[in-house]
Amino acid sequence: MAGVGNRVLAGTDRALDLLRELPRLSLSNIRSNPKAFKRNKRGRGQHGGKKHGAGNKGSGQRQNFMRLGYETGNNPFYLRVPKEPYYKGHHIRREYPPISLMQLQTLIDTGRLDTSKPIDLTALCNTKLFQLSPFENQYGFQLTDEGLDNFKGRINIEVQYAPEQVIAAIEKNGGVITTAFYDAPSLIAMRDPMKFFASGTPIPKRQMPPENAVEYYTDPKNRGYLADPDLVALERFKLAQKYGYELPDLKKDPELLPMMLERKDPRQIFFGLNPGWLVNLKDKKIFEPEDEQLLEYYRS
Amino acid sequence: MAVSFSNFCCLRRLLISSTSCSRAYLSGFKSNLSLDKLYPTSRLDITTIPKAPESKDGKFSGYIPMDKIQVNYVRSGGPGGQNVNCVSTKTEVRFHLASADWIPEPIRVKLAERVKNQISKEGYFIVKSERTRSQQLNLADTLDKLRNLIHSVAQSLVVPEVSEETLERQRRLRERAARERLKEKRAHSMTKQGRQSPTLDS
């Protein structure tokens, strides 16, 4: 122990004093022992070393190469297969996996689909019988006319495409059909809502259809979600005349009417949930944005 | 597992009463692209059933009342194995032609004459179709046939109003055609006579 007066200090005390004065130890004030690692002495040559990766003699070392793809005279790979105009833009084409009316009727009969609520893409994906892959250019489901004659269900259904006779079959039974567009991020949210909510992302707003689809979704003949409902009513009547059935009056069933008329806003993805809301399943809470700018964005 | 949002107590779900008016949609959320902003003058009601167009003044409106005609489904003919033997896809539409007041009288009379081979002894006009494999599509085809038939009969009854100038022009053209024909005939006759050997008289 050091004496208070004379400061005759032992080795440890001197070391401790030094520690108090020296700067903190960091990577910038230490160095490894000499000869701990070998320094690369051969640093010359910008692309590394003697031959610069060009090998010995020949066209290679002399940098006299043939054009890329050339196969010294025989038909090169990139020219062997001809270009076909029929597949132009195939990677951009939208796909709609089919669901037949027969399958739909079976689902209703076996109770896999709840007809007391509107049926949309989420309801169809929740049956776990249909897969949708937005990453493979699939933009939703289409209804096919297989089982047209035997379809008896009364439903409010929203699909992405339906031919005329299918629309007739659904409306004949007192149902309502709408065709709607969903963009890829919306589809990813819709096909597995639980997974989407678990990701902690706010519900996105649905985008408008691309240019070549706007005409389809604004046409009342196709029951587009952007079409004028009054014109849709007229088309319902015309289709009933075309396919030979008495158009059922939806107002006759006042208990079912709200469900039948239920529709999403063009920017909405889930029934009852607005874009911008954040759903916390674990704590069973929904967080809404309060900032005016955010609200304006989600409403626009 | 299906998501049921109605279980969430914190969800605010606005249900607009639909007894007074049938709105096209009932969700609480409305963006700037909602239908009432896209179509401000529209009533936004898909449930309205428009009044059927009447066939008056001897003109057929195109409307066929489904309660006034009978639709039968029978089995079709031709090959097809089990499907054609068991499934009734042939569609028959029949109605009593003389008492069909949804077709104007003059058209009805002319139609009866035109399709007299397709009218039964009791006076029922029968239209059939087994064009497709589906009952519904065949029914649509049958009605299409019927409607086109009535329209064509109506069209044939319409006498077009021709102006005096047109009638005059048609008369002149007919007379000119006759004159040309006779001229050619005479010329041909001279040719044939010229081939004959001459006689002492001429």
The model's pLDDT over B62-106, given as tens digits with 9 standing for 90+, comes to: 999 999 999 999 988 888 888 888 887 899 999 999 999 999 999
> For position B114, what pLDDT does the model report?
95
Among A92, A284, A233, A101, residue whose Cα is nearest residue B22: A233
The residue that leads in pLDDT, B15 or B33, is: B33
Q: CA separation (Å) from A232 to A33, A164, B46?
A: 85, 13, 6
Q: Which CATH number fits domain B66-78+85-157: 2.40.100.10, 3.30.565.10, 1.10.1300.10, 3.30.160.20?
A: 3.30.160.20
pLDDT given at position B202? 60
Helices and strands per DSSP (H, E), number in chain A = 12, 6
Count CA atoms within 13 Å of residue A289 on its CB side: 17
Question: Which one is predicted more confidently, A2 or B128?
Answer: B128
Percentage of chain A beyond pLDDT 70 is 96
Q: Which of A266, A94, A106 is nearest to A180 (CA)?
A: A266
Whether the predicted pLDDT of B4 surpasses 60: no
Q: What is the pLDDT of residues A194-205, one digit of tens each?
A: 999 999 999 999
The alpha carbon of residue B69 is apart from the nearest alpha carbon of chain A, in Å, by 10
B167: left (phi over 0), alpha (psi -120 to 50) or beta: alpha
Closest by alpha carbon to B142, among B78, B87, B68, B91? Answer: B91
Q: Strands B90-96 and B124-129: what pairing?
A: antiparallel
Model confidence at A160, pLDDT cuts 50, 70, 90, reads: very high
B25 pLDDT above the threshold of 50: no
Q: Residue B196 half-sphere exposure, CB side, CA atoms within 13 Å?
A: 9
Chain B residues close to A149, C-beta within 8 Å: 89, 134-136
Instruction: Closest CB to A257: pick one of B6, B22, B144.
Output: B22
Percent of chain B with pLDDT over 90: 72
CB-based contact B25 A261, cutoff 8 Å: yes
Please check the confidence at residue A136 and state whether its pLDDT lies above 90. yes
B27 with A258: Cβ contact below 8 A: no
Give the distance from residue A96's alpha carbon to the nearest chain B alpha carbon, in angstroms. 22
Tokens, residue A68: 């890329």
- Chain B environment of A249 (Cβ under 8 Å): 47, 49
Task: Tell me which of B136, B137, B139 to substitute to probe the interface with A (most A C-beta atoms closer than 10 Å).
Answer: B136
Q: Where are the domains of chain B?
A: 66-78+85-157
Q: Which long-range contacts (CB under 8 A, 24 or more apart) does A230-235 make?
A: A230/B39, A230/B42, A230/B43, A230/B44, A230/B45, A230/B46, A230/B48, A232/B46, A233/B45, A233/B46, A233/B47, A233/B48, A233/B49, A233/B50, A234/B50
A286 or B58, greater pLDDT? A286
CB A102 within 8 A of CB A141: no
Predicted confidence (pLDDT) at residue A40 exceeds the cutoff of 90:
no
Model confidence pLDDT, tens digit, residues A41-82? 665 776 577 788 888 999 889 989 899 999 999 999 999 999
Minimal C-alpha gap between B83 and chain A (Å)? 13
Contact yes or no for B29 and A169 at CB 8 A: no
Output DSSP code: residue A127: T
pTM, two decimals, is 0.76
pLDDT band at A7 (very low <50, low <70, confident <90, very high): low
pLDDT at A19 over 90: no
Contact call for B42 and A205, based on CB within 8 A = no
> Cα A227 from chain centroid?
25
Read off the pLDDT of residues A118-131 as tens digits, 9 standing for 90 and up.
999 999 999 999 99
| Residue among A126, A246, A268 minimizing CB distance to B66 | A246
pLDDT tens figures, B134-170? 999 999 999 999 999 999 999 999 988 999 999 999 9
Report yes or no: A269 and A203 within 8 Å, Cβ to Cβ: yes
Mean per-residue pLDDT, B185-193? 97
Mean pLDDT of chain A: 93
A89-108 burial string, b = 16+ CB within 10 Å, else e?
Answer: eeeeeeebeebbbbbbbebb
Residue of A193, A243, A263 lying closest to B3 (CB–CB): A193
